[in-house]
């Protein structure tokens, strides 16, 4: 018996145990969050065994069991694909979730429904595992929709708040638009290749994969919040901070990129889709980086930086380097989850204050959080030898040396520079300078649940990139040699961003805030996109559905053409034809006459 598959299945089964136990008395217990956290950590440790085996021997595996149904000639069975991507991503996701669960025990400790919160987190994690390990598109779709619905439930956790409900609905709606693409791709594969199994899709050739790939790209756009379907991600920050840390930074939102990585064998020879992906990613990364520049809500800034990094991953897929994109997914998970947890720590300490203008000087009162936040930000900007460097630097170098669209490359570089700028802004306003928060707040970050969880991810943010990129050989080889100036570009633009942002912050801090310029308005109003799309589209569609679908067609036309007009004509014609006028004497007379006549005729007939 091979340890490989059995360990992996054990890890997955361990995750389902607390869900099953939730129907017992255990669920009423105060220790339920603790059990969930422990189960996750066990699952992480067990899943490390097959990952180590994979790193050591490069063994990949497919587990097929439980035949679900056969539709004509297409067999659907439950099947897990344990390959490069799932083997690396599963432990990373479990590790991050483990820390976030520990963090939630601290962050959500006063919530009366904390057990349910943990159950939701775990359910989300299971659907994510299903998504990552799925070997056929149907199973992938189960995970895909599952994470969408769990994000709906978790964003709307504080369901009494209107904003949370709106954000939850918005997330589902944008995801659902993406799902249409996924369903189209499924339909196309079923019709043309007669299979949903990944291997069979990849070995079958077809002249034109444009249509299904467009569908998958749409799906990825929805799930990974790319330009056009991006506004849901910053709105999703209405959810609790652990949810933002888990779903909207490290796991769920990368599912779209992961999908494209899964399907890269179809994409690698398709220039059209690659160019589209590249441009889409580049636009997203720049636009969201610009939006991040002027936000004042600390979680919104981190959310926009997530969006920007997702754009960068899409760019990487666009330049045909799926393995690099995957590396960035893994490294990004560590420091972005940690950034969210740090902002959660700050928010919680300052009595739910999220505005960075009302922070300041936190390095004295929250030294550990400050350290972690700075390391996380530096890792995010790609500071050499921190985690982000190993993926981000390679991505920029590959983009620089590849034969790519210069426009897309340029705006990606600008976005990279802006990353440094908004990171500086968080650090400058939240951590440095004089305190601007209320002096009455009692600040204490010395809780082992908080310290340990952040510490674990902190170590990850420093070393994970090195460990991952050195243990696992990338299958597509990035460019190794390049001129000096190209090698230094990534670093140079980042340092440029840092210096400029620092100078700007220092010089403008004391200045009076004049009437904002148009550039500022563009950035702070998120490129006017929500203003236009969230007002115009709902208004027109709701007006159309009310005025034309409901009123005009249903209540007026269809009602008048058939039932009303028929009854009207019946009534008119019956009153016209009928001679019923209420003339009783006449009627009796005619009745008598007929009776007499009939008597006479019948009697004298024969």
Residues that bind another protein (CB under 8 A): 69-72, 138, 141-142, 145-146, 149, 152-153, 156, 159-160, 162, 165, 168-169, 172-173, 176-177, 179-180, 183-184, 186-188, 190-191, 211, 541-542, 544-546, 549-550, 553-554, 558-559, 562-563
Cα dihedral sign, 274-279-281-282:
positive
SS (H, E, C) 266-295: HHCCCHHHHHHHHHHHHHHHHHHHHHHHHC
Task: Please state the φ and ψ torsions of residue 476, each to the nearest 5 degrees.
Answer: -95, 130
- Nearest approach in angstroms of CB 69 to another protein is 5
* CB-based contact 298:422 (threshold 8 Å): no
- Nearest approach in angstroms of CB 141 to another protein is 5
Closer residue to another protein in complex, CB, 140/257: 140
Closer residue to another protein in complex, CB, 236/359: 236
- Nearest approach in angstroms of CB 71 to another protein is 7
- Nearest approach in angstroms of CB 288 to another protein is 23
CA 133, CA 92: separation in Å to the nearest integer? 13
Closer residue to another protein in complex, CB, 174/429: 174
Cα R_g (the chain), whole angstroms: 31
- Nearest approach in angstroms of CB 246 to another protein is 21
CA 358, CA 296: separation in Å to the nearest integer? 9
- Nearest approach in angstroms of CB 326 to another protein is 25
CA 410, CA 153: separation in Å to the nearest integer? 39
Closer residue to another protein in complex, CB, 168/236: 168
Tell me the three state secondary structure of residue 323: helix
Closer residue to another protein in complex, CB, 259/313: 259
Closer residue to another protein in complex, CB, 194/476: 194
- Nearest approach in angstroms of CB 430 to another protein is 32
Closer residue to another protein in complex, CB, 61/149: 149
Closer residue to another protein in complex, CB, 181/388: 181
CA 266, CA 374: separation in Å to the nearest integer? 40
- Nearest approach in angstroms of CB 129 to another protein is 15
Q: Chain-centre distance of CA 158, in angstroms?
A: 19
CA torsion 509→420→493→334, rounded to 10°? 170
CA 31, CA 26: separation in Å to the nearest integer? 8
Beta bridge partners of 496: none
Measured in residues, the chain has a length of 606
């Amino acid at each position: 018996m091979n340890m490989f598959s059995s360990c992996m299945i054990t890890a997955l089964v361990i995750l389902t145990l607390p869900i099953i136990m939730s129907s017992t008395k255990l669920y009423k217990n105060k220790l339920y969050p603790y059990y969930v956290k422990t189960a996750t950590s066990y699952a992480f440790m067990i899943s490390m065994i097959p990952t180590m085996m994979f790193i050591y021997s490069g063994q990949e595996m497919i587990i097929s069991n439980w035949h679900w149904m056969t539709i004509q000639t297409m067999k659907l069975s439950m099947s897990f694909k344990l390959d490069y991507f799932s083997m690396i991503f599963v432990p990373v996701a479990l590790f991050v979730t483990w820390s976030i669960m520990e963090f939630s025990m601290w962050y959500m400790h006063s919530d009366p429904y904390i057990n349910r919160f943990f159950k939701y987190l775990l359910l989300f994690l299971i659907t994510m595992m299903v998504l990552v390990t799925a070997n056929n598109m149907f199973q992938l779709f189960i995970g895909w929709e599952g994470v969408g619905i769990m994000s709906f439930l978790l964003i709307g956790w504080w369901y009494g708040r209107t904003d949370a409900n709106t954000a939850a609905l918005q997330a589902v709606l944008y995801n659902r638009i993406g799902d249409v693409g996924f369903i189209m791709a499924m339909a196309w594969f079923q019709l043309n290749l007669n299979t949903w199994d990944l291997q069979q899709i990849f070995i079958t050739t077809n002249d034109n994969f444009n249509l299904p790939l467009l569908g998958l790209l749409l799906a990825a756009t929805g799930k990974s919040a790319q330009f056009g379907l991006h506004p849901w991600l910053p709105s999703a920050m209405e959810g609790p901070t652990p949810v933002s840390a888990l779903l909207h930074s490290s796991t769920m939102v990368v599912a779209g990129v992961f999908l494209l990585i899964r399907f890269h064998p179809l994409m690698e020879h398709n220039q059209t889709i690659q160019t589209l992906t590249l441009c889409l990613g580049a636009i997203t990364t720049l636009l969201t980086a610009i939006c991040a520049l002027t936000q004042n809500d600390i979680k919104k800034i981190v959310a926009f930086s997530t969006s920007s990094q997702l754009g960068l991953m899409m760019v990487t897929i666009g330049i045909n380097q799926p393995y690099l994109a995957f590396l960035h997914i893994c490294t990004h998970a560590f420091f972005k989850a940690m950034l969210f947890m740090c902002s959660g720590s700050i928010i919680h300490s300052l009595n739910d204050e999220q505005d960075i203008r009302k922070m300041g000087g936190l390095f004295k009162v929250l030294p550990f959080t400050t350290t972690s936040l700075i390391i996380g930000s530096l890792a995010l900007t790609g500071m050499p030898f921190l985690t982000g460097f190993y993926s981000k630097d390679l991505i920029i170098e590959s983009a620089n040396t590849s034969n790519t669209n210069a426009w897309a490359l340029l705006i990606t570089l600008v976005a990279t520079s802006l990353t440094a700028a908004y990171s500086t802004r968080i650090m400058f306003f939240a951590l440095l300078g004089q305190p601007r928060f209320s002096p009455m707040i009692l600040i204490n970050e010395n809780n082992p649940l908080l310290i340990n969880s952040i510490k674990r991810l902190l170590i990850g943010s420093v070393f994970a990139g090195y460990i991952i990129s050195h243990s696992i050989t990338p299958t597509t080889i990035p460019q190794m040699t390049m001129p000096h100036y190209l090698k230094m570009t990534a670093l140079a633009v980042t340092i440029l961003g840092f210096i400029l942002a620092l100078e700007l912050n220092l010089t403008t801090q004391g200045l009076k805030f004049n009437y904002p310029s148009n550039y500022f308005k563009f950035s702070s109003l998120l490129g006017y996109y929500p203003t236009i799309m969230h007002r115009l589209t709902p208004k027109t569609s709701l007006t159309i559905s009310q005025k034309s679908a409901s009123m005009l067609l249903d209540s007026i036309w269809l009602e008048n053409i058939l039932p009303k007009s028929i009854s009207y004509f019946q009534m008119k014609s019956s009153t016209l034809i009928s001679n019923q006028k209420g003339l009783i004497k006449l009627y009796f007379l005619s009745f008598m006459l007929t009776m007499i006549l009939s008597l006479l005729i019948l009697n004298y007939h024969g």
